[in-house]
Structure 1
Amino acid sequence: MTTGSGPATSGDAYDVPDAFDAGADSYDSLVGANPGYHKHLRLSAERMRLPDGGRGLRLLDIGCGTGASTAALLHAAPHAEIVAADGSAGMLAQARAKRWPSSVTFVHSRVETLADAGVTGPFDGILAAYLIRNVDEPDAVLQSLRASLRPGGVLAAHEYSVRDSRAATAIWKLVSSTVIIPAGRLRTGDAALYRYLQRSVLEFDGVSGFRNRLRRNGFTDVSSMSMPGWQRNVVHTFTGRAPR
């Protein structure tokens, strides 16, 4: 599933945050049916290699949705200060209703308007789960996230990317058509968001293309690792650092 943090892809009138407002009540139950969903978010957070349990660090979870990625970041860095932001008020309400330590703060903001919402760097690390695929101007967003990092700070983008693999593309088409879209329709009465999800994944950068996009936008030490299980070569952790 995606998180509701940005507008739809360019040329698409579909508004992702508004769509997630409508589906917020059923979101956790839907993603909970996805084997490995929470485990994979934790894996991406762990791949940020945040030292000393995050002690003394300030982290941003951008596109936090109902808080699943926030929980993953907290698991990897229990001693860090975490700012979690999302563009969907409905998703954010679900996140805020859960129990969190005082070190976690939630902010209602799209990624493009973080500064207007009072969210500014520098951050030692940023986790962006299912975010970049959903914004109109990914290069501008990546540049703004890099500028929000301290020198040497790490960005982890947890994201679907299937274009470089015929097998992964076929798996994604099959799972989204036979499981995700029907389940979304059953739980919410409207499959539009889940049809958008299928299409957006198929249209997004391949793995090599997204690594190159990170480099073009100023990130260093760029790498990627896939998830285990059925999402191998379907969901990946992309990491990059702000130049020192």
Structure 2
Amino acid sequence: MSASRIRIGRQFLDARTSAGRQSARGFAASAPRGVREPPPPPPPRDAHDGTTHFGFETVAEALKEQRVRGVFSSVASSYDSMNDFMSLGIHRLWKDHFVRNLNPGRNPLTSPLADQKGWNILDIAGGTGDIAFRMLDHASHINNDAHTNVTVADINPDMLAEGKKRSLQTPYARSPRLRFVEANAEKLDMIPDGSIDLYTVAFGIRNFTHKDVALKEAYRVLKPGGVFACLEFSKVENPLFNAVYQQWSFNAIPYIGQMVAGDKASYQYLVESIARFPSQEEFSGMIRDAGFLIPGKGYENLTDGIAAIHKGVKPA
């Protein structure tokens, strides 16, 4: 990541402390004239009425998958830049922390034998390979494990094509340790029951039409003792910092998307999809409802809740 992006992110985060004596109400009152306040998300609809949300828009369930596919086809080549804008440039640090915390390459829960030949990792919605490459690097260089493998599954062929292209710059391009498959997280027919040690999804699950169905599929494919791990944008807990972040999200990001990628609409959808995603507590409850055991409170906030890591363990 460039020094300028790191600097921008740090300057933005400093707003939390420098303005700590203000209330969220006071901040809103002093917002510049003409700055548009982000609209509140609409109330959730009946889960059984055949419709779902696409950002703040209500659409037929059958249409959402098609429209999400269109968004990510549009941003595939600029995906890292998109996440830089969405996370103030620090998504790379979050991903590094996510992988270190999972420590791929040894798994005392599912692989107690000393001669175990590495992990089977399934990275969902991971088309560009960003998480997969980190997993393989960690297993190889930190745990001296040359056997752990990652299957990258994504519903979007353009994202997968981008990942395959990027893999050519890694040692894994033609290795059996890395493969890319086009698949829907809600129907992983090609993955056998109880075959996966670690299921990861980073910045993807908020775009799924039926998150509960995807969680049940994750439960099915994991081995007993296997881990579900999700890194996703979430709810900022500090009211003042949240006011700053919402202004950035709704008033800046779509226009940056227009200038950088010529695509305001896709970036507008992405910020709305974050607003529509359940809170940390609600999403932990969904993971529990899918059958997982929840360690501790079930999540770790990153940068005051701009993002969060969620975990669940399939009972052994």
TM-score where L is the length of structure 2: 0.67
Distance 1:76 1:232, change over 3 A: farther
Q: Identify the residue that residue 234 of structure 1 maps to in structure 2.
A: 306
Q: Call closer, same or farther: CA 1:168–1:105 in 2, change over 3 Å.
A: farther
Greater Rg over alpha carbons, structure: 2
Aligned residue for 1:112, secondary structure, equals: coil
Distance across 1 between alignment mates of 2:70 and 2:208 = 14
Distance 2:301 2:151 in 1: 26
Q: Does 1:44 align with 2:98?
A: yes
Indicate yes or no: 2:181 matched with 1:107.
Answer: yes
**Are 2:71 and 1:71 equivalent residues in the alignment?**
no
The DSSP-based 3-state class of the residue aligned with 1:125 is: strand
Partner of 1:159: 232
Distance 1:165 1:199, change over 3 A: farther
> What letter is aligned with 1:88?
N
How far apart, CA to CA, are the structure 1 residues paired with 2:242 and 2:209? Answer: 23
Give 1:163 shift. Answer: 6.7
CA change 1:209–1:55 in 2 (3 A) is same
35, 52, 61: which one aligns with 2:123: 61
Q: Deviations over 1:137-174 (max 9, x none)?
A: 11111011011100010111101111765345424312
When residues 211 and 168 of structure 1 are mapped into structure 2, their CA distance, relative to the original with a 3 A threshold, is farther
Q: Counterpart of 1:194 in 2: which secondary structure?
A: helix
**Aligned with 1:77: secondary structure?**
helix
* Residue number in structure 2 paired with 1:3: none
> What CA distance in whole angstroms lies between the structure 1 residues aligned with 2:282 and 2:241?
16
Matches within 5 A, 1:13-162: 13-14=63-64, 15-32=67-84, 34-52=88-106, 56-78=118-140, 79=145, 80-98=148-166, 99=168, 100=170, 101=172, 102=175, 103-115=177-189, 118-121=190-193, 122-162=195-235
Supply the AA of the counterpart residue of 2:129: G
TM superposition shift of 1:83: 0.3
Aligned to 1:193: 266
> Aligned partners of 1:41, 1:126: CA distance in 2, in Å?
15
Deviation at 1:185, TM superposition (A): 1.2
Q: Is the 8 A contact 1:61 1:73 kept in 2?
A: no
Please list every run of 5 or more consecutive structure 2 residues that lacks an aligned counterpart in the other structure.
1-52, 108-115
Q: Distance in 1 between matches of 2:287 and 2:240?
A: 24
Q: Do the aligned residues in 1 keep the contact of 2:206 with 2:277 (CA within 8 Å)?
A: yes
Please say if residues 284 and 294 of structure 2, whose CA atoms lie closer than 8 Å, have aligned partners that are also in contact.
Answer: no
Cα distance change of structure 1 residues 207 and 44 upon mapping to structure 2, 3 Å threshold: same
Q: 1:169 to 1:197 in 2, by over 3 A?
A: farther
State, as a whole percentage, how many aligned pairs show the same letter.
Answer: 25
TM-score normalised per structure 1: 0.85
Q: Return the offset for 1:64.
A: 0.5
Distance, in Å, in 2 between the alignment partners of 1:167 and 1:150 is 42
**8 Å contact 1:161–1:207 — kept in the other structure?**
yes
The one-letter code sitting in structure 2 at the alignment partner of 1:94 is: E
> Over aligned residues, Cα RMSD in angstroms?
2.4
Q: Name the CA shift for 1:72/1:8 in 2 (closer, same or farther; >3 Å).
A: farther
Given that 1:130 and 1:159 are in contact with CA atoms closer than 8 Å, whether structure 2 keeps it comes out as yes
**In 2, Cα distance between equivalents of 1:157 and 1:75:** 19
Q: Quote the Cα distance in structure 1 between the aligned partners of 2:261 and 2:247.
A: 21
Task: For residue 278 of structure 2, give the secondary structure of its aligned residue in structure 1.
Answer: coil
Structure 2 CA distance for aligned equivalents of residues 83 and 168 of structure 1: 37
Query: 5+ residue gaps in structure 1?
Result: 1-6
**Aligned partners of 1:172, 1:148: CA distance in 2, in Å?**
37
Q: Tell me the alpha carbon deviations over residues 165-202 of structure 1, each in whole angstroms, 9 at most, x when there is no partner.
A: 53454243122134422221112212111111111111
CA contact (8 A) 1:164 1:208 kept: no
